[in-house]
């Protein structure tokens, strides 16, 4: 259930348009609904502001369809990750409104939320990183962010990042997706003013070691403001970027009176009053 749906229900009870018994029936599936093979967390939308996602690998098409229909009945957005094309086609036969992005292996039920708000920028190192990058793109987009995607901007041709610089400075969160040695994340984090989320991919060979080399390189980066998710975890990066994007900027703190300004002495952190 969405927070706004819960507020409407409570308002209707308060105004006498809905009986307490009817409201109780509507809320009976909170905090979760047991389908036998899965227990759906309908409360997560209220608790975190974003819905539970369905991990498609290891589930039958019929199970995914049943989960989607249960989410839809509770007015909960439904997102499916790691969904291959044959399984997506089988799910779509049961849920015709399913939208599927084959390269990202991601699907959702219903429409995207408007034009999106704020700005999340996704940059990928090479075209082989596209499946992970697009998973991040569509996850952040589905969760309400405005997203711009700049593919194939890796460090082998570093000049390709130059046109992206204005967007890096404007973004609320940046996702850098790279395999091989994973250097792109450090480069982007050194140029962007926003939090950068590094996504190592398993693209590469030999000592790339299925993504471990870029993972360790990103974790060992000397650039502050760079955080790292798991190998090939485009969904995790897109989700995290959407959370950052949704956070409202804090109001500017009021100015202190002239006589109470404080100085931080060079080489120390102890505040001294004038």
pLDDT of residue 174: 97
Instruction: Answer yes or no: do 151 and 230 share one domain.
Output: yes
pLDDT of residue 25: 58
Note whether residue 59 is domain-resident: yes
Burial of residue 104 (CB within 10 Å: 0-12, 13-18, 19+) is: buried
Q: Specify the 3-state DSSP secondary structure of 177.
A: strand
Torsion, CA 229, CA 230, CA 234, CA 237, rounded to 10: -20
pLDDT of residue 261: 42
Domain count, the chain: 2
pLDDT of residue 71: 81
Note whether residue 261 is domain-resident: no
Instruction: Answer yes or no: do 200 and 128 share one domain.
Output: yes
pLDDT of residue 254: 47
Report the b/e string of 206-242 with b at 16+ CB within 10 A.
eebeebebbbebbeebebeebebbebbbbbbbbbbbb
Q: Between β-strands 98-101 and 106-109, what pairing exists: parallel, antiparallel or unpaired?
A: antiparallel
Instruction: Answer yes or no: do 131 and 166 share one domain.
Output: yes
Instruction: Answer yes or no: do 72 and 158 share one domain.
Output: no
Question: Does the pTM exceed 0.75?
Answer: yes
Note whether residue 214 is domain-resident: yes
Question: Cβ neighbours of residue 3 under 8 Å, at least 6 residues apart?
Answer: 45, 46, 49
Which contiguous run of DSSP H or E holds residue 34? strand 33-34
Instruction: Answer yes or no: do 123 and 227 share one domain.
Output: yes
pLDDT of residue 262: 41
Domain boundaries, position 202: 117-246
Asked if 122 and 171 count as a contact pair (C-beta separation under 8 A), the reply is no
pLDDT of residue 54: 87
pLDDT of residue 111: 76
Q: What are the per-10-residue average pLDDT scores of the chain (274 residues)? A: 60 73 58 61 65 86 90 80 95 92 91 84 94 95 93 88 90 95 94 94 93 95 94 95 76 45 40 38
Round to whole Å and give the CA distance between 10 and 18: 9
């Amino acid at each position: 259930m969405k927070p706004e749906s819960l507020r409407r229900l409570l308002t209707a009870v308060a105004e006498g348009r809905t009986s307490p018994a009817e409201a109780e029936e509507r809320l009976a599936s909170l905090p979760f609904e047991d389908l036998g093979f899965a227990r759906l967390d309908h409360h997560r939308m209220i608790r975190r502001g974003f819905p539970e996602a369905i991990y498609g690998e290891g589930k039958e098409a019929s199970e995914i369809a049943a989960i989607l229909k249960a989410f839809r009945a509770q007015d909960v957005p439904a997102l499916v990750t790691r969904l291959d094309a044959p399984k997506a086609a089988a799910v779509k036969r049961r849920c015709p409104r399913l939208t599927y992005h084959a390269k990202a292996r991601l699907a959702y039920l219903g429409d995207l939320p408007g034009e999106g708000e704020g700005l999340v920028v996704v940059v990928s190192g090479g075209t082989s990183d596209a499946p992970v990058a697009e998973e991040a793109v569509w996850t952040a987009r589905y969760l309400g962010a405005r997203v711009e995607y700049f593919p194939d901007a890796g460090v082998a041709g570093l000049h390709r990042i130059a046109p992206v610089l204005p967007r890096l400075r404007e973004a609320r969160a940046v996702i850098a997706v790279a395999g091989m040695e994973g250097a792109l994340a450090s480069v982007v984090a050194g140029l962007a003013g926003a939090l950068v989320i590094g996504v190592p991919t398993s693209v590469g060979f030999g000592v790339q070691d299925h993504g471990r080399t870029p993972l360790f390189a990103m974790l060992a980066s000397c650039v502050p403001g760079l955080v790292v998710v798991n190998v090939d975890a485009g969904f995790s990066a897109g989700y995290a970027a959407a959370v950052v994007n949704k956070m409202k900027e804090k109001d500017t703190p009021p100015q202190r009176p002239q006589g109470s300004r404080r100085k931080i002495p060079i080489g120390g952190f102890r505040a001294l009053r004038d």
